[in-house]
Every structure is written in structure tokens, then in C-alpha cells.
Amino acid sequence: MALKVTIVSLGCPKNLVDAEEMVGALVEAGCGMVAEPERADVVVINTCGFIESAKEESVGAILEAVGLKSNGCRSVVVTGCLAQRYSRELERELPEVDAFIGVGRNASVPDVINRTLAGQKVVDSSPPGASWSKNGRRIRSTPPWTAYLRVADGCDNRCSYCAIPDIRGPFRSRPPELVLAEAERMAAEGVLEVSLVGQDITRYGEDIQGWSLERLAGELARIDGLRWIRLLYCYPTRITDSLIELVGAEPKLCKYMDIPLQHGDDRVLAAMNRRGSRSQYLDLVRRLRQACPEIALRTSIIVGFPGEGEEEFENLLSFVEEIRFDRMGAFTYSREDGTPAARLPDRVPKAVARRRYERLMEVARRISLERNRRMIGWEMEVLVESAGTGRSYRDAPEIDGIVRLVGGDSRPGEIVRATVIEAADYDVTARLQGSASS
């Protein structure tokens, strides 16, 4: 009987891609995948270790898995960012776990499981390698019409608050032939939308002669079957005029860009070791909207960073009001061990940071509603995801809002045309006009 394995994947879409590659390796090894941890012989927890709340969620999931060992579970394997960063500490605190393996080892999971079932304890948090799997199978867990496409891994930005470069290693572009081959396979299998992911996709090609994000996006747009290509995690100072021009001109490139700006006060940005300044960010947004007036801009903001006083926070609020992001996520600062920011003085009390977060998100909610209201009367394509709901080009999967569909029937996985008739804080309602594709 096949070994029954379940994977619990936490964190960002990049982690989800890792989990999908693990599933592919396990299926190729003859394992049977089950959705319920209670039915599994082996539970794999693919962890996130980006901020404190993510670490707490990961530890909670590990403890739940360990609890299943008294009810038939034979092995618990912990993978991903938390295991990469804290494997030795976790090994001491959680001796019931059978293996801790870091990032970049997706294909090795079946072998690790076999070793634990033979009685070995496996701990491997060595630096992730620079090589890329050339023919590893990946079994997607997203709906069949949408997928994440990894184009890079690692990061060299060294923002003072972030441990990702120490976890994921230096930046490295995935070879274009692998990216394009995977995108071709996805399109042949019916994928309509691909979201390009990496810690910083705007660096793509810096380490491969003759390549850039613009060239890669242009090549992806030539693939028959793909309808939407979405750019996630773009570093602001690396968004070139040629990329802006391509987004405006290429129909398959979603008029959408995720640009984590993190703050709007120059002194805080400098303390964060972020490139660029408030004025440069404002100019970038002006150029994007000039080239593509209908573009939807998403950002993420950190509040409560060390040294952020009332003046700096007010500067952030005015920055958000001036840019008027279509989509915005925010976080209170999380002090991460080993990062330069962890040593900074003038920490903001948690209660103050929380109040600032709530005030910022109220501003973001109001702006989002106003931006949605201006869409009333727009006719646009909607990718149907379930009965009566879908997403427009303005909505990244599992991140942004939805489009509620009325006035007709539609099938999940088809692209329809609809006219916006109502707006809410984060979602809109649209009346179906007819099918654009299926």
C-alpha cells in the first residue's frame, strides 16, 4: 500500500510553489497524497519564517502534526523558511519532529521521509544551492486556470528589517528555457493566468547575459493559450521605462503591478535600507499611470519601524493619500533576529504601532472604495472562479478582492465580459455581458 502523505503549506505563493514541487516528487516516488493530516502516515509542514506572526503560525502547525503521532502518524517532516533559519533551535525544542530541512530541497523530500521511517533523524539547513531542477514534476494546487510561475529565487537587496537573503540565499534568475518550457506546459494544460513570482522579479536576467524581465515577459506573451500575465513583487527603483512601456502596450500583461514600497518617509526608508525616495516613488507612479491610465497598483507598507515618530507616520499617511493605491497591505514592524533593524534604538511600542496600523488601513479602505466607485460603468474581462464570482485584471489570486457577477450564467475557468454596476470597499459587482473565452 502506498505511503500516505499530506503537505501543509504556509506563507507566500513562493512557498506554495515549493510545496507543489514537493508533491510532484512524492507522487513520482509512489506516495499517495491525502488532504487530511489525520489520514496521513507522514505529515510535511512547509513553514514560513518571514515575520513573528508567521513563525507562530508555523510552530502551531508543527505542534498539531506532532500531536497526530499518537494516532497513527509515523513521521513529521518540517521544511521551508523556518526550518532553514532555526533548525537547530527547533530540533532542541521539538524532539518529536523527525526531520528539519531548509529551502531548495524539494526533490529530496521522498528520500528524507524514507530515512526518517528507517529511524534516522534528519537535519539539513545548509545554504540553498544555486542549481535549478531541470525536469522535476510539479503538481499544482491552484485552480486549473491560474498558476504561479517562479522566475527567480533569493535576494540581494538587504533591507535592514528582512532575513530573506539569509534564508533564501543570493538572488538568482531561473534559466529562461526552464521558465518558458513550464509556461508552455501550463498553457497546454489550460492555464489562462500566470503570476510571475520571486523575491524581486525586476532583477530577472541580471545574471543571465541578454535577458531581462522585459524580454522574459515578452516571450511569455507569445505563448498561445496564456491570456493574463501578472507581475508580482517589483522593486520600485528597478522598474524601467521599457518595462512600463511594455505593460502599457502588451495586451496579455495585466495592467497591474505589485510594488512593495514599505514607507513614504525618506528618513524611515533610509533606515530600512530601501533604495529610492518619496519623490522617486511619486514620479514612478506618475509614469506608470501616464503610460497606462487603467493600471491597478498594489503595495505593502510597514508601520512602527524603529525611529518612526508621529512626523514620519504623518508623512506616510500623506504619501498614501497622494498616490492613492488601488490595493494596499500593511504590517506592523516585526523585529527579526540577526537583521540590522533589530539593533536599532527608538523602538515603537506595540500599542502605538497597532493604532497606526489601524489608522493607515482605514485610509486605505476609504481610498480603495473611492477607486472602486470610479469603475462603475467600466466593461472589463473577468476570470470566473466559482458560481457568481471572479477576478478582473485588477485582482491577484488570493490577495485582492473579487468581482461578484450577476445577470447570467458563467462557468469557472472561463473569461467573460461584464460591466461594473456597484462598488464596495474591496470588491465590485458586475453584470455579465457575454463570454470572451472558455
Show the DSSP H helices in 94-239 as ranges: 109-117, 164-168, 176-188, 213-220
CB neighbours of residue 321 within 10 Å: 12
pTM recorded for the entire structure:
0.92
The vertex-300 CA angle with 295 and 301, nearest 5°, equals 130
d(CA 240, CA 34): 45
d(CA 239, CA 14): 21
Q: Which of 34, 29, 48 minimizes the C-alpha distance to 113?
A: 29
pLDDT range class, residue 114, cuts 50, 70, 90? very high
Average pLDDT value for residue range 68-89: 91
Between helices 310-323 and 350-373, what is the axis angle to 10°?
10
138-177 pLDDT, tens digit each: 999 999 999 999 999 999 999 999 988 988 999 999 999 9
The vertex-8 CA angle with 4 and 12, nearest 5°, equals 145
3-state secondary structure of 46: strand
Q: Which domains does the chain have, with CATH numbers?
A: 4-124 (3.40.50.12160), 146-373 (3.80.30.20), 379-437 (2.40.50.140)
Chain-centroid distance of CA 437 in Å reads 27
Tell the residue number behind the cell numbers 501550463, with chain if given. Answer: 186
pLDDT over threshold 50, residue 438: no
pLDDT range class, residue 135, cuts 50, 70, 90? low
401-435 pLDDT, tens digit each: 999 999 988 999 999 999 999 999 999 999 998 54
